[in-house]
Protein backbone atom coordinates (compact mmCIF):
# COMPACT_ATOMS: atom_id res chain seq x y z
CA UNK A 1 0.00 0.00 0.00
CA UNK A 2 1.50 3.29 -1.14
CA UNK A 3 0.42 6.35 0.83
CA UNK A 4 1.32 10.04 0.81
CA UNK A 5 0.83 11.47 4.33
CA UNK A 6 1.00 15.19 3.51
CA UNK A 7 -1.29 16.49 0.75
CA UNK A 8 -3.61 19.41 0.04
CA UNK A 9 -6.88 19.73 -1.85
CA UNK A 10 -6.57 23.35 -2.90
CA UNK A 11 -4.08 25.49 -4.77
CA UNK A 12 -3.79 27.93 -1.87
CA UNK A 13 -5.40 28.94 1.41
CA UNK A 14 -7.15 31.83 -0.33
CA UNK A 15 -8.87 29.68 -2.96
CA UNK A 16 -12.14 27.80 -2.64
CA UNK A 17 -12.38 24.03 -2.95
CA UNK A 18 -12.99 23.01 -6.55
CA UNK A 19 -14.32 19.48 -7.24
CA UNK A 20 -12.94 19.65 -10.79
CA UNK A 21 -9.47 20.68 -9.57
CA UNK A 22 -9.45 17.96 -6.90
CA UNK A 23 -10.62 15.35 -9.38
CA UNK A 24 -7.57 16.21 -11.48
CA UNK A 25 -5.40 15.89 -8.36
CA UNK A 26 -6.77 12.44 -7.57
CA UNK A 27 -6.39 11.17 -11.14
CA UNK A 28 -2.72 12.20 -11.03
CA UNK A 29 -2.25 10.55 -7.62
CA UNK A 30 -3.56 7.27 -9.02
CA UNK A 31 -1.48 7.64 -12.18
CA UNK A 32 1.61 7.96 -9.98
CA UNK A 33 0.85 4.67 -8.25
CA UNK A 34 -0.64 5.87 -4.97
CA UNK A 35 -3.20 3.70 -3.19
CA UNK A 36 -3.99 6.20 -0.43
CA UNK A 37 -3.32 9.70 0.83
CA UNK A 38 -3.94 11.81 3.90
CA UNK A 39 -5.74 15.05 3.11
CA UNK A 40 -3.99 17.52 5.43
CA UNK A 41 -5.49 20.81 4.28
CA UNK A 42 -4.48 23.89 6.28
CA UNK A 43 -6.77 24.32 9.29
CA UNK A 44 -7.17 28.04 8.60
CA UNK A 45 -7.74 27.74 4.88
CA UNK A 46 -10.68 29.61 3.37
CA UNK A 47 -13.92 27.71 4.10
CA UNK A 48 -12.24 24.72 5.75
CA UNK A 49 -15.48 22.89 6.56
CA UNK A 50 -16.66 23.24 2.96
CA UNK A 51 -13.83 20.92 1.90
CA UNK A 52 -15.32 18.05 3.91
CA UNK A 53 -18.91 18.98 3.03
CA UNK A 54 -18.01 18.63 -0.62
CA UNK A 55 -16.04 15.42 -0.11
CA UNK A 56 -19.16 13.97 1.52
CA UNK A 57 -21.05 14.71 -1.68
CA UNK A 58 -18.32 13.37 -3.95
CA UNK A 59 -17.26 10.10 -2.30
CA UNK A 60 -18.60 7.47 0.08
CA UNK A 61 -17.11 7.58 3.58
CA UNK A 62 -16.81 4.23 5.38
CA UNK A 63 -16.14 5.57 8.88
CA UNK A 64 -12.36 5.56 8.42
CA UNK A 65 -11.62 7.03 5.01
CA UNK A 66 -13.24 8.24 1.81
CA UNK A 67 -13.35 5.82 -1.11
CA UNK A 68 -12.41 7.67 -4.28
CA UNK A 69 -12.56 4.63 -6.52
CA UNK A 70 -9.45 2.63 -5.74
CA UNK A 71 -7.89 5.50 -3.78
CA UNK A 72 -8.33 5.87 -0.01
CA UNK A 73 -8.49 9.45 1.36
CA UNK A 74 -7.83 9.69 5.09
CA UNK A 75 -9.13 12.92 6.72
CA UNK A 76 -6.69 15.32 8.31
CA UNK A 77 -5.46 18.89 8.60
CA UNK A 78 -2.27 20.91 9.02
CA UNK A 79 -2.20 23.16 12.09
CA UNK A 80 0.03 26.17 12.84
CA UNK A 81 1.39 26.47 16.38
CA UNK A 82 2.26 29.66 18.25
CA UNK A 83 5.99 28.93 18.58
CA UNK A 84 6.17 28.55 14.76
CA UNK A 85 5.77 25.21 13.04
CA UNK A 86 3.14 23.02 11.45
CA UNK A 87 1.60 19.81 12.80
CA UNK A 88 -0.23 17.23 10.67
CA UNK A 89 -3.22 15.61 12.37
CA UNK A 90 -4.81 12.57 10.68
CA UNK A 91 -7.81 10.63 11.91
CA UNK A 92 -11.48 9.84 11.54
CA UNK A 93 -13.53 12.63 10.01
CA UNK A 94 -15.57 13.28 13.13
CA UNK A 95 -12.41 13.64 15.23
CA UNK A 96 -10.71 15.97 12.74
CA UNK A 97 -13.80 18.18 12.48
CA UNK A 98 -14.27 18.27 16.25
CA UNK A 99 -10.66 19.34 16.86
CA UNK A 100 -10.97 21.92 14.09
CA UNK A 101 -14.08 23.45 15.69
CA UNK A 102 -12.18 23.75 18.96
CA UNK A 103 -9.34 25.50 17.12
CA UNK A 104 -11.62 28.29 15.89
CA UNK A 105 -10.21 30.85 18.39
CA UNK A 106 -6.68 30.09 17.12
CA UNK A 107 -6.92 30.61 13.36
CA UNK A 108 -5.24 34.04 13.14
CA UNK A 109 -1.47 34.39 12.91
CA UNK A 110 -1.13 36.32 16.17
CA UNK A 111 -3.31 33.82 18.04
CA UNK A 112 -2.11 30.34 17.04
CA UNK A 113 -2.45 27.63 19.66
CA UNK A 114 0.64 26.77 21.75
CA UNK A 115 2.21 23.46 20.73
CA UNK A 116 1.71 21.74 24.10
CA UNK A 117 -1.94 22.80 24.16
CA UNK A 118 -2.46 21.40 20.66
CA UNK A 119 -0.92 18.10 21.72
CA UNK A 120 -3.24 17.88 24.73
CA UNK A 121 -6.22 18.59 22.49
CA UNK A 122 -5.12 16.04 19.88
CA UNK A 123 -4.45 13.36 22.49
CA UNK A 124 -8.09 13.38 23.55
CA UNK A 125 -8.93 11.42 20.40
CA UNK A 126 -6.95 8.75 18.48
CA UNK A 127 -5.13 10.91 15.95
CA UNK A 128 -1.87 10.34 14.09
CA UNK A 129 0.34 13.36 14.91
CA UNK A 130 3.24 14.20 12.57
CA UNK A 131 5.63 17.13 12.85
CA UNK A 132 5.68 18.70 9.40
CA UNK A 133 8.92 19.76 7.67
CA UNK A 134 10.90 20.21 10.94
CA UNK A 135 13.80 22.05 9.27
CA UNK A 136 11.94 24.36 6.89
CA UNK A 137 13.42 27.81 7.38
CA UNK A 138 10.05 29.59 7.49
CA UNK A 139 8.25 27.12 9.78
CA UNK A 140 10.74 24.93 11.68
CA UNK A 141 9.99 22.62 14.58
CA UNK A 142 13.47 21.70 15.80
CA UNK A 143 13.56 24.65 18.21
CA UNK A 144 10.61 23.40 20.29
CA UNK A 145 11.00 21.77 23.69
CA UNK A 146 12.15 18.19 23.11
CA UNK A 147 10.02 16.69 25.84
CA UNK A 148 6.98 18.15 24.09
CA UNK A 149 8.17 17.06 20.63
CA UNK A 150 8.24 13.46 21.88
CA UNK A 151 4.44 13.62 22.08
CA UNK A 152 4.39 13.44 18.26
CA UNK A 153 4.17 10.09 16.49
CA UNK A 154 6.57 10.88 13.64
CA UNK A 155 8.33 13.61 11.66
CA UNK A 156 7.71 14.55 8.04
CA UNK A 157 10.25 14.00 5.26
CA UNK A 158 8.89 16.64 2.91
CA UNK A 159 9.33 16.69 -0.87
CA UNK A 160 9.44 20.48 -1.06
CA UNK A 161 12.22 20.66 1.54
CA UNK A 162 14.15 17.88 -0.19
CA UNK A 163 14.06 19.99 -3.35
CA UNK A 164 14.89 23.27 -1.59
CA UNK A 165 17.70 22.02 0.67
CA UNK A 166 18.99 18.95 -1.16
CA UNK A 167 17.39 15.52 -1.06
CA UNK A 168 20.05 13.58 0.82
CA UNK A 169 21.08 16.48 3.07
CA UNK A 170 17.52 17.14 4.21
CA UNK A 171 16.78 13.45 4.68
CA UNK A 172 19.85 12.88 6.87
CA UNK A 173 19.01 15.92 8.96
CA UNK A 174 15.38 14.92 9.53
CA UNK A 175 16.22 11.27 10.24
CA UNK A 176 18.99 12.18 12.71
CA UNK A 177 16.69 14.62 14.52
CA UNK A 178 13.84 12.09 14.69
CA UNK A 179 16.19 9.34 15.91
CA UNK A 180 17.42 11.58 18.74
CA UNK A 181 13.79 11.86 19.85
CA UNK A 182 13.11 8.15 19.36
CA UNK A 183 10.60 8.80 16.57
CA UNK A 184 10.15 7.47 13.02
CA UNK A 185 10.09 9.51 9.82
CA UNK A 186 7.24 9.45 7.30
CA UNK A 187 7.07 10.84 3.78
CA UNK A 188 4.80 13.55 2.43
CA UNK A 189 4.77 15.30 -0.93
CA UNK A 190 3.14 18.48 0.48
CA UNK A 191 1.49 18.88 -2.91
CA UNK A 192 -0.94 21.69 -3.67
CA UNK A 193 -0.69 20.83 -7.34
CA UNK A 194 -0.99 17.41 -8.93
CA UNK A 195 2.48 17.16 -10.51
CA UNK A 196 4.11 16.58 -7.10
CA UNK A 197 2.30 13.30 -6.34
CA UNK A 198 4.60 10.29 -6.33
CA UNK A 199 7.75 12.33 -5.70
CA UNK A 200 7.97 10.78 -2.23
CA UNK A 201 5.66 8.34 -0.45
CA UNK A 202 5.44 5.55 2.13
CA UNK A 203 5.20 1.94 0.98
CA UNK A 204 3.45 -0.01 3.74
CA UNK A 205 4.24 -3.70 4.11
CA UNK A 206 0.67 -4.50 5.11
CA UNK A 207 -2.71 -3.03 4.17
CA UNK A 208 -4.10 -0.33 6.45
CA UNK A 209 -7.83 0.36 6.51
CA UNK A 210 -7.89 2.80 9.41
CA UNK A 211 -5.77 5.50 10.99
CA UNK A 212 -5.21 3.14 13.90
CA UNK A 213 -3.72 0.66 11.41
CA UNK A 214 -1.53 3.43 9.94
CA UNK A 215 -0.35 4.54 13.35
CA UNK A 216 0.58 0.98 14.32
CA UNK A 217 2.38 0.29 11.04
CA UNK A 218 4.45 3.45 11.49
CA UNK A 219 5.24 2.60 15.12
CA UNK A 220 6.26 -0.92 14.03
CA UNK A 221 8.43 0.39 11.20
CA UNK A 222 6.42 -1.74 8.77
CA UNK A 223 6.99 0.58 5.82
CA UNK A 224 9.68 1.99 3.56
CA UNK A 225 10.08 5.53 2.26
CA UNK A 226 10.33 5.76 -1.51
CA UNK A 227 11.88 8.80 -3.19
CA UNK A 228 11.47 9.21 -6.93
CA UNK A 229 14.52 10.06 -9.02
CA UNK A 230 12.32 12.66 -10.66
CA UNK A 231 11.57 14.47 -7.37
CA UNK A 232 13.52 17.66 -8.27
CA UNK A 233 11.78 17.97 -11.65
CA UNK A 234 8.34 17.18 -10.19
CA UNK A 235 8.62 19.70 -7.37
CA UNK A 236 10.13 22.41 -9.57
CA UNK A 237 7.39 21.94 -12.18
CA UNK A 238 4.73 21.95 -9.47
CA UNK A 239 6.05 25.19 -7.95
CA UNK A 240 6.17 26.88 -11.36
CA UNK A 241 2.67 25.69 -12.28
CA UNK A 242 1.27 26.75 -8.91
CA UNK A 243 2.63 30.27 -9.43
CA UNK A 244 1.16 30.39 -12.93
CA UNK A 245 -2.27 29.19 -11.79
CA UNK A 246 -2.32 31.75 -8.98
CA UNK A 247 -1.46 34.50 -11.47
CA UNK A 248 -4.27 33.35 -13.75
CA UNK A 249 -6.69 33.32 -10.81
CA UNK A 250 -5.72 36.90 -9.91
CA UNK A 251 -6.17 38.06 -13.50
CA UNK A 252 -9.57 36.39 -13.69
CA UNK A 253 -10.61 38.12 -10.47
CA UNK A 254 -9.49 41.49 -11.83
CA UNK A 255 -11.35 40.87 -15.09
CA UNK A 256 -14.55 40.23 -13.16
CA UNK A 257 -14.33 43.41 -11.10
CA UNK A 258 -15.72 45.82 -13.75
CA UNK A 259 -18.67 43.50 -14.38
CA UNK A 260 -19.34 43.36 -10.67
CA UNK A 261 -19.32 47.14 -10.45
CA UNK A 262 -21.60 47.49 -13.47
CA UNK A 263 -24.12 45.03 -12.04
CA UNK A 264 -24.06 46.90 -8.76
CA UNK A 265 -24.94 50.12 -10.62
Q: What is the pLDDT of residues 162-198, one digit of tens each?
A: 999 999 999 999 999 999 999 999 999 999 888 899 9
How confident is the model at residue 147, as a pLDDT? 97
Helix (H, G, I), strand (E, B) or coil at 184: coil
Residue 16 C-alpha from the chain's centroid = 17
Q: Which pLDDT band holds residue 15 (cuts at 50, 70, 90)?
A: confident
pLDDT at 258: 61
Per-residue confidence (pLDDT) for residue 262, from 0 to 100? 52
pLDDT at 250 over 80: no
Report CA-CA distances (Å) from 189 to 106, 128, 162, 250: 26, 17, 10, 26
Size (the chain), residues: 265
- Residue ranges covered by each domain of the chain: 2-264
Query: Right CATH number for 2-264 from 3.40.50.10860, 3.20.20.140, 3.40.50.300, 3.30.565.10?
Result: 3.20.20.140
* Cβ atoms 202, 4 nearer than 8 A: yes
Q: What is the mean pLDDT of the chain?
A: 93
Q: Give the whole-angstrom CA distance, residue 89 versus residue 111.
A: 19
Predicted local distance difference test score (pLDDT) of residue 265? 43
- The string of pLDDT tens digits covering residues 91-111 is 999 999 999 999 999 999 999
Q: What is the arithmetic mean of pLDDT over 215-233? A: 97
Q: Is the pLDDT of residue 156 over 80?
A: yes
Residue 44 is classified by DSSP as T
- The tens digit of pLDDT for each residue in 105-155 reads 999 999 999 999 999 999 999 999 999 999 999 999 999 999 999 999 999
Average pLDDT on 67-77 reads 98
- Residue 49: phi and psi, rounded to 5, are -65, -25
261 pLDDT higher than 70 = no
Amino acid sequence: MRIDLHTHAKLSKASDFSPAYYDEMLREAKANGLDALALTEHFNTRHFFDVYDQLDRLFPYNGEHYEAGSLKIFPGMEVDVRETGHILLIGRKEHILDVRRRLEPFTEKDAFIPFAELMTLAEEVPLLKIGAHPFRESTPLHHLDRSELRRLDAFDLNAKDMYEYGSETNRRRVERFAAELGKPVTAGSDTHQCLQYGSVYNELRRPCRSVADLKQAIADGAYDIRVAETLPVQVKASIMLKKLLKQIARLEALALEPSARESAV
